[in-house]
Amino acid sequence: MGTGPARSIAEAAAGVLSSRDAGARSIVAAAVADVVHGRGSAQIAFDAYLADPTGGASRRSFVDALADVLSTDAAALARVETAVEAARGHPPTGEHATHLPLPEASPHFEDWDPPAPVPSPPSYRPSPHADGAPPSPGGSGGGGLLERLGRAVRRINPFGSGEEATAGPQLESVTANADGAEAGGQDEAAAVGAESATIGEASPDAPAAPYRAYPYIRPTDHVPGQDYLIQPEVPFSLDIGTSRSAPVEAAVIATPAGLGEVRAGLTVHVQLSYDPASLSIDGPTPIVLQLTADDPYPRQTVTVTPLATAKPLSNRRIAAHYIVDGKVRAIAFRTFRDADAPPAPKSGSAGLVDLTPLADEEAPDLVLAIYGADAASPGTFTMAAFPRDADVAPPELGRIDLGLDSPGFMKQMFKEGNRGGDPTGVYDALAGIAWRIGSKIPDPILRTLKAVAEAPHRERAATMLLLTEESAVPWELAALGGARDITSTAGGSSPFLGAHFAIGRWPIAESVASSPVPDPRPIDVRKTALVRADYDGVGDGWRPLPGAVSEVAALARDYSPADEWSPVIDDVKDNLLFSDVDVIHFALHGQVDDAPGQSGLVLLRKDGDKVRPAYLSADAILSLLTRDPGPPLPRHPFVFLNACQVGQGNELLGDYAGLAAALIAAGARAVVACIWNVNDGVAGSISREFYRRTDAGETPAEILRSVRTRYVRPAPGAAASDDPANASVPTLIAYQYFGHPGMRVVRAH
């Protein structure tokens, strides 16, 4: 074991780590975490000592192990000695520290996940990485160790009691941008207790215990706490793999639960998605990570080359999708900025949607991810597909250019969906626009869609979860034809993608941290709320909806117990805050309009002795999140918006507008909404059929898929009709479903 200066410094480090000074502990912990990283026995002893810093046995083991490391590594000795002296409030002294500045944050500090206090130290397996030597300490950006790590304190309180002693360690990290301003703090979503502490059992014969793993995506030479700026045509190395703690850098956002629980022996495939007009990546595709007892957090390195663009970019992105057994477990985005580009504006998003439910047995047959491109005009996207079937390989990513911005594209489609007249002409116009969407789907993605939908063993329609950064394009209605046609048992010869897949869509970015996830568990319905409005005498030309009146009456009779809510806007807002219902069904007018305050569900407001229209907009829904007594929609209900156009969404500063997405952010588990005007009688018939079929055990995604198959080209000269059985009305393809495609709505009888 180490002797002399090495042992003295190890003893001193142990003393600081057991002190009551949280700032001092964090300084030394960062340095020790760095020098023991990848050194099996020393890392085990360090983790055990943090679990029981008052125990004599754990202290002796830690001091012995650390002294051994320091006695053979002069740089490590200098690093820990400097940290100890800095923690004590003295300038660094001694021959080993004379040429070293105060160390910056440890490059492995955010990988370090100290265990919560436990009665006795458990046994651990080491977790080495093949990272090579850590970067040298020092550097600029954000001040010295006391200034930087004093703001990044891990609360390790062996003397605390109650909640503070058991809550587990946390990390608050502040990263600095290029001009020294704080880029923002994020709380590390560190696993606590045995989940984060126990990597495995000490005995090699014991089965591997589960442990938590998180995405890791960072340039090899990145100095933590500094912006990583890139130059066009200058390659750099990027490490991609797993980590023991959630990323805390401002440049990285990831699904909050990471990969969830994993075990040694598991194989993880990492598929990258990026804009091929912005970046070139040289490396294995996909990246294959083998989790083992000796290397529970493996990583691989790829070479990234930023491509020259017309102007410097603030937001080049790489998305890493972590796939286990054909199921997408996690997604992480890494953002890069050109050195000559200004910082990108903040989007306000808290992070990415939690994908934990996708590991469930109800995992969709396909996950289709659509992201905005880096350097392009609006309406340009990258697309990636992840089939669950191991026999269908994930395709290479594709790039889509619709030719105009998404809202502009959709306005064109809405005009056709809303216009009356010749049913054949309406169908042809809609099918033509839908074909423009479908024709842009890249061939590799299309081959995967066909392989999944047309699989010979398939006894039901394939399910798809559509994770999308844009909410305007109805990808469900992408039309395919000729050699690109999909012909499935479920969808027959329908040209629409959404007739062959039971599709649930979900916004990949969430602006509300407490938003629900795309959860496959059924919604148990004990109570229903119904909302309709009598538009007689209401200004602005809103006509009555006799079909909606019949619709609500039938649902009140057949779907008891049901409350009929007042359609006055303030009453509806209050009900959303305090509601104890599991299903909310709206049968109203709806509108999307460019004029301020003229979009949303058309409710009512009293103006003296008159009744005026009032619009329940997406912003009005989101405003409920700021009101007491707590979050709205407390029972996370299923919401059916049987109203015109309310499924439409618009991308706004990287966040989402649109009533359906706003309801999800406010707490709804799933939403059905329309993307253009619907026929009153047909809409009522569809809703009654919808609830009958949910009672029979069908999913909302499957019901709407089958309804789409009925929209066929009418015979030339066919007359327009309000007959609900008439298959020539665009109402049949007007519905979108936001939610997990495997979720069911189950009524308690």
Q: In b/e form, how buried is each residue of 560-596, taking b as 16+ CB within 10 angstroms?
A: eebeebebbbeebbbbbbebebbbbbbbbbbbbeeee
pLDDT of the residue at 419? 58
Q: Residue 194: enclosing H or E segment and its boundaries?
A: helix 193-197
CA torsion, ordered 151, 152, 158, 159, to nearest 10 deg: 20
Topology classification of domain 203-346: Immunoglobulin-like (2.60.40)
pLDDT tops 70 at residue 560 = yes
Least confident of 180-189, 633-642, 669-678: 180-189
Asked if residues 113 and 190 have their Cβ atoms less than 8 Å apart, the reply is yes
> How would DSSP label each residue in 309-350?
-SS--S-EEEEEEEEETTEEEEEEEEEEEETTSPPPPP----
pLDDT band at 430 (very low <50, low <70, confident <90, very high): confident
250 φ, ψ (degrees, to nearest 5): -65, -25
Alpha-carbon distance of 391 to 674, in angstroms, equals 36
> How would DSSP label each residue in 671-721?
EEEESS---HHHHHHHHHHHHHHHHTT--HHHHHHHHHTT--PPPTTPPP-
Please give the share of the chain, as a percent, with pLDDT higher than 70.
72
Alpha-carbon distance of 79 to 70, in angstroms, equals 9
pLDDT tops 80 at residue 496 = yes
pLDDT of the residue at 96? 38
Q: Which residue has the higher pLDDT, 183 or 84?
A: 84
Query: What single DSSP character describes residue 353?
Result: P
Average the pLDDT over 41-65 and give the result.
81
**The residue to which tokens 């215990």 are assigned:** 209
The mean of the pLDDT values for the chain is 75
4 φ, ψ (degrees, to nearest 5): 65, -140
Q: Which tens digits make up the pLDDT trace of 274-300?
A: 988 899 999 987 899 999 998 999 999
Q: Which residue has the higher pLDDT, 407 or 45?
A: 45
Would you state the CATH architecture of domain 523-747? 3-Layer(aba) Sandwich (3.40)
Least confident of 60-74, 183-197, 390-404: 183-197
Average the pLDDT over 205-212 and give the result.
67
pLDDT of the residue at 2? 57
What does each C-alpha distance from 418 to 65, 302, 408, 413, 640 come to in angstroms? 74, 49, 15, 9, 20
Q: Which tens digits make up the pLDDT trace of 2-20?
A: 567 888 889 888 888 888 7
pLDDT band at 377 (very low <50, low <70, confident <90, very high): low
pLDDT of the residue at 411? 61
Q: Which residue has the higher pLDDT, 649 or 324?
A: 324
Average the pLDDT over 527-538 and give the result.
86
pLDDT band at 206 (very low <50, low <70, confident <90, very high): very low
pLDDT tops 60 at residue 733 = yes
Alpha-carbon distance of 172 to 155, in angstroms, equals 10
pLDDT of the residue at 498? 96
pLDDT of the residue at 89? 64
pLDDT tops 80 at residue 139 = no
Q: Which residue has the higher pLDDT, 456 or 195?
A: 456
pLDDT band at 355 (very low <50, low <70, confident <90, very high): confident
Spell out the residues 6+ positions from residue 417 whose beta carbon is closer than 8 angstroms to its own.
Answer: 426, 430, 675, 676, 677, 730, 734
Average the pLDDT over 217-227 and give the result.
83
Q: What is the domain partition of the chain in residue ranges?
A: 1-170, 203-346, 523-747
Secondary structure of 621-682 as H, E, C letters? HHHHHHCCCCCCCCCCCEEEEECCCCCCCEEECCEEECHHHHHHHHCCCEEEEECCCCCHHH
* Beta bridge pairs of residue 674: 735
**The residue to which tokens 């069904």 are assigned:** 585
> 238: which 2 tokens?
């990027």
Closest CA to 393 of 448, 323, 356: 448
> 589: which 2 tokens?
């007018």
Query: What single DSSP character describes residue 29?
Result: H
pLDDT tops 70 at residue 656 = no
Listed in order, strand segments (DSSP E) in 410-511 are: 462-468, 501-507, 509-510
pLDDT tops 60 at residue 163 = no
